[in-house]
Amino acid sequence: MKLPPTATPAIWHTLPEDDICQRLATTRTGLCAAEAARRLAEHGPNEIQETKPISRFAIFVRQFTSLIVWLLIIAAVVAGALGEMVDAIAILAIVVLNGVIGFYQEYKAEQSIAALRKMTAPQARVRRDGRAFIVPATQLVPGDVLEIEAGDLVAADARLVNATSLRCIEAALTGESEAVDKLATVLGDAELPLGDLANMLFKGTSVAAGQGEAIVVATGMSTELGRIAGLIEQAGAGERTPLQEKLEAFGRVLVWASLGIVALLFVLGLLRGMGLLEMFMTSVSLAVAAVPEGMPAVVTIALALGVMRMSRRRALVRKLPAVETLGSTNVICTDKTGTLTVGDMTVRELFVDGQTYAVTGEGYGPHGEILIEGRATGAEHAEELLELATTLLAANNAQLVLEDGAWKVIGDPTEGAMRVAGHKAGGVSDDVERELPKHHEIPFDSDRKRRTVVRIMPQGHLRAFVNGAPDVLLRRCTKLYTDKGIVPLDDARRTQIKLQNEAMAARALRVLGAAYRDLPHGTVAHDITDDHEQDLVFVGLAGMYDPPRPEAKKAVARCHDAGIRVVMITGDHPHTALAIARELGIAAPDDTVVSGAELNKMSDDDLRTRAPHIGVYARVTAEHKLRIVHAWKANNAVVAMTGDGVNDAPALKGADIGIAMGIKGTEVTKQASDMIVTDDNFASIVAAVEQGRGIYDNIRKTLQYLLASNSAELLLMTLCIVIGLPAPLLPIHLLWINLVTDGLPALCLATDAIDPDVMRRRPRARTEGMMDRAFLVRMVIGDIATVTVCFGIFIWARHTSGLDVARSMTFTALAFCELCKSFSFRSETKPLWKLCFRSNLQLPLVVAASFALQLMLHHVPVLSRLLGTVVPEWHERWLLLGAGLIPFAALELFKVFRHKPAPMSASIAA
């Protein structure tokens, strides 16, 4: 019997137990072994399907899919066919070097789905044939009855049919920091978000407290975890980064421009009566000259160097193009829990004896103190703080452990936060356990909304310590603890406590109350009832939340200064999300929050239209996060998505760049990401954006320098051919300038220091091409000056010394022009004298060495014969050096007289 295709949370949480059993053909005693085996064969193992991993060979081949790379390969083949083996080998060596560097950086990148296996439970306790068995989690099938208790990892999606004080931690799926209460009741609303499905258990989540029974409704890829795995696989498939798009567009322009010029010259040559073979070889030489052979390697090396720089800033880049993509980002969609916030519940305020105290420190670590009106508390406050601390510690089962240098909680995160606050307020857990041994416990559940622990006091009598919801405790309290002793809880004092509770809640704090009662002598464990939780002494309040990271607010402000829009996307409650967003400056005081339920009512077109005006999303699922990312991308934004939970992984994969947290991030999220922030610090992301912008600047100016050199060669060759003069340069001259003369300074430009003003500029639009007007104007100015100088030298030398000397001098003049121009290409806006000389010491060293090498070509017989050079006279050397400075001077004067700093303008991030 095949089960109906209704195994989704939207159906199961609305059905009573009898309907569930009927639909799944099961009972509370479980399936029989034979039926379980049949269903296992029908539905398959309860595991996440793993896509076939990409092979090393495929990763290597992927490095050669660029249009520019194929253009170089074709040029090498043609050069080899024409007998120019030196040219062919040099070009192919550049192509292979580019491929090796890219392969090294991207190896082992595509492993997103495999990491999900690490989140699944290896075993499960299941009831079959009326008895409990421990079976491998992979053998669970729909209809199985699960038995769960504190500490278990949930092995499949299941509907609760019995729950006792059950609380689960679902942060990885929903982003909510606190453990959530679980009930076995029917929920009537079919449109509830994932985080509000209180009667459902989900594969990969963990049980913090209590116990329960549940009927398995979905296994394997049909679970929420499996659905996320499918989203990860689909998200971002086949998409290219902004840099790849720009380089492909750049390559297309280069190909068509080269073909057009070569074809024009070929036709002009034939019309002038030149031979067909001669013009073909000349045209091929020009085509090779038009291609900047060093460009792929220079771009790859610039990106690889960016990877190393970012690693020193605690950002590990897993995919090479992501380095530049981060610099193009104009929208950062960030998860709240663990990214903008610490990710650990932390008590922020205490209220006892009419006084409000601030609690410093983040997370579960012991660092922090208690302050009153901004000052450290003194001995006059110690007694009442210790009383509250004792109550918080006494009714508490959480444990704090130090693992790998970080404090973690075992048990309920809320109780962990109260334990930390109790320590800061002067209490000591070990002293409480030793001096007040536990006698009995009534666990927390969602109906009682309180936990009671009965302990034996030093005097021998029993005391019930109670922590719970303030409104519930106040109804049961008749007395109040003060520094003057126990006093009646009159209406005025009760009102003061209620107002304090409301004020804390308004600041998005989760508030718990603390109380106690001394039990009558002779009370024994089995006699303790609800009546013993009446007539309580109210002690105080503890307000807690998952606090923002101390550096996050400054980092968000820096994003705004850089024109980057920050959008919060979280599975947490709307009230909490909006409060944190306002505290960090992400949302204005009058901004609102959009919930997952509201997103469900929006079409993709509606969301695309509204996305630029929404700053906070709450109670959203993994699918919602992916839709939001796609909506921004539909607005031509370059989107970065940050996160740490499994529910963030699909959006990370679908964004232009996915950024995972290295400490608290799940393995799934790390493998879905393009970059990992090793310190979980949002400020590190902003620093990485700065690096990315600097790297793009370096790539742009390097390409501008290389293309300016190649276009000058083309223009010079074209000018001579058009007016009937012989070629001023030999093919070997062109290749030498492209690979050696231009290649070495280009590497220095690619590794230049980042402009200090880079984060004061607007982000680049996705549609903004690499060759804009400013790019072309600088190229034209440099080319006109270079061609004028070199053409003049060629005409003069040919007239006075013959063609061979003219070609030799033109070759050296062009090399000197290109070397001197490299200094001007360090900045598009600032003259050389306004740049820090020490920030790129390698460039003057490389230029000096290249000058010396160029002169050696004239004096070393082997090199002289290979390149067809002759020894220049001394006065000719000074002439060539002076000529080389002319294009540099022209570019620098253009910056001084024509350039105006670009103002920060409105962008999509405004």
Catalytic residues: 335
471 three-state secondary structure: helix
Token pair of 355 as six digits: 């006084």
Question: How many of the other CB atoms lie within 10 Å of CB of 42?
Answer: 12
Cα–Cα dist 810/717, whole Å? 11
Tell me the CA distances in angstroms from 618 to 176, 187, 639, 844, one per residue in order. 10, 21, 19, 54
Token pair of 209 as six digits: 């407290």
Nearest-10 Cα torsion for 262, 268, 270, 273: -140
Helix ranges, 44-139 (H): 56-62, 67-81, 85-106
Q: Return the H-helix or E-strand segment holding 117.
A: none
Residue 35, φ and ψ in degrees, nearest 5: -65, -40
Token pair of 475 as six digits: 């109804």
Question: How many of the other CB atoms lie within 10 Å of CB of 564?
Answer: 23
Cα–Cα dist 540/871, whole Å? 94
- Going by C-beta distance under 8 Å and a sequence separation of 6 or more, which residues neighbour residue 250? 68, 703, 769, 770, 771
Cα–Cα dist 53/49, whole Å? 12
Cα–Cα dist 255/671, whole Å? 37
Angle at 315 between CA 310 and CA 316, to 5 degrees: 95
> Are 719 and 787 spatial neighbours (Cβ–Cβ below 8 Å)?
yes
Angle at 224 between CA 222 and CA 225, to 5 degrees: 95
> Are 177 and 217 spatial neighbours (Cβ–Cβ below 8 Å)?
no
Q: How many CA atoms lie within 13 A of 113 on its CB side?
A: 19
To the nearest 5 percent, what fractions of the chain are helix, strand and coil?
50, 15, 30
- Going by C-beta distance under 8 Å and a sequence separation of 6 or more, which residues neighbour residue 453? 394, 395, 396, 438, 440, 441, 442, 464, 465
Question: How many of the other CB atoms lie within 10 Å of CB of 136?
Answer: 14
Q: How far apart are the two ends of the chain, measured CA to CA in Å?
A: 58
DSSP class of residue 726 equals P
What is the SS3 string spanning 485-546? Answer: EEEECCHHHHHHHHHHHHHHHHCCCEEEEEEEEECCCCCCHHHCCHHHHCCEEEEEEEEEEC
Cα–Cα dist 786/803, whole Å? 20
Cα–Cα dist 568/511, whole Å? 24
Token pair of 701 as six digits: 């100016």
Token pair of 435 as six digits: 């001096």
Cα–Cα dist 229/763, whole Å? 32
> Are 466 and 516 spatial neighbours (Cβ–Cβ below 8 Å)?
yes
11 three-state secondary structure: helix
Closest Cα partner for 753 from 837, 818, 676, 851? 837
Tell me the CA distances in angstroms from 10 to 168, 346, 597, 726, one per residue in order. 19, 33, 13, 79
